[in-house]
């Protein structure tokens, strides 16, 4: 798969894909004779995982560290697990916070609905 196709499919820009490779978030992608990147299925899967974690606010350098550990093989399983657990804790806290914010937003919106309703009422009353 060529870079433009991967970009299309993943929603990440070609610049971002090359940037991810530069900072070690993606492995060195294999090339055709002419030097053009050819993404494998495994690369695509990794990109999906990265995308998911990035939208959850997991920083690029944490992910880079994680993949570096993956490269190092089975001895790093414990360390990798810890990284993921730390991020899980962060995520759980974040979801809770977002839900609080959502509740606040809902009550604000409701407040505005009441205000609008009342304004309308007053308009009607003036007849």
Partner DNA sequence: TTAACACCTGGAGTTAACTCCAAGTCAAGG
Partner DNA sequence: CCTTGACTTGGAGTTAACTCCAGGTGTTAA
Q: DSSP letters of 106-122? A: HHHHHHHHHHHHHHHHH
Which of 24, 27, 30, 32 contacts DNA by CB under 7 A? 32
Is there binding between residue 11 and DNA (CB under 7 A)? no
Burial (CB < 10 A; 0-12, 13-18, 19+), residue 66, is buried
Binding mask 41-60 for its own copies (x = CB under 8 A): --------x--xx-xx----
Question: 15 vs 97, which CB is nearer to DNA?
Answer: 15
Query: Contact between 68 and its own copies (CB under 8 A)?
Result: no
Phi-psi region of 35 (alpha: psi -120 to 50; beta: other; left: phi over 0): left
64-123: contacts with DNA (CB under 7 A): none
Cα–Cα–Cα angle for 72, 74, 60, nearest 5°? 50
Does residue number 70 form part of the binding site for its own copies (CB under 8 A)?
Answer: no
The Cα–Cα gap between 91 and 76 comes to: 23
Which of its own copies, DNA, none interacts with 86 (beta carbon under 5 to 8 A by kind)?
Answer: none
8 Å CB contact between 11 and 51: yes
Q: Which is nearer to DNA, 14 or 84 (CB)?
A: 14
Please report, as ranges, the residues that interact with DNA according to CB under 7 A.
2-5, 13-16, 18-19, 31-37, 54, 59-61
């Amino acid at each position: 798969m060529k870079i433009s196709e991967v970009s299309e499919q993943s929603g990440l820009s070609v610049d971002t894909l090359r940037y991810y490779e530069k900072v070690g978030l993606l492995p060195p992608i294999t090339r055709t004779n002419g030097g053009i990147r050819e993404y494998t299925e495994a690369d695509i899967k990794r990109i999906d995982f990265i995308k998911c974690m990035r939208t959850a606010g997991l920083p690029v350098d944490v992910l880079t560290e994680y993949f570096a550990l993956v490269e190092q093989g089975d001895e790093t399983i414990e360390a990798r697990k810890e990284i993921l657990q730390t991020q899980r804790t962060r995520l759980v806290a974040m979801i809770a916070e977002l839900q609080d914010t959502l509740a606040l937003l809902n009550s604000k919106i409701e407040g505005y609905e009441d205000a609008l309703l009342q304004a309308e009422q007053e308009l009607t009353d003036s007849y």
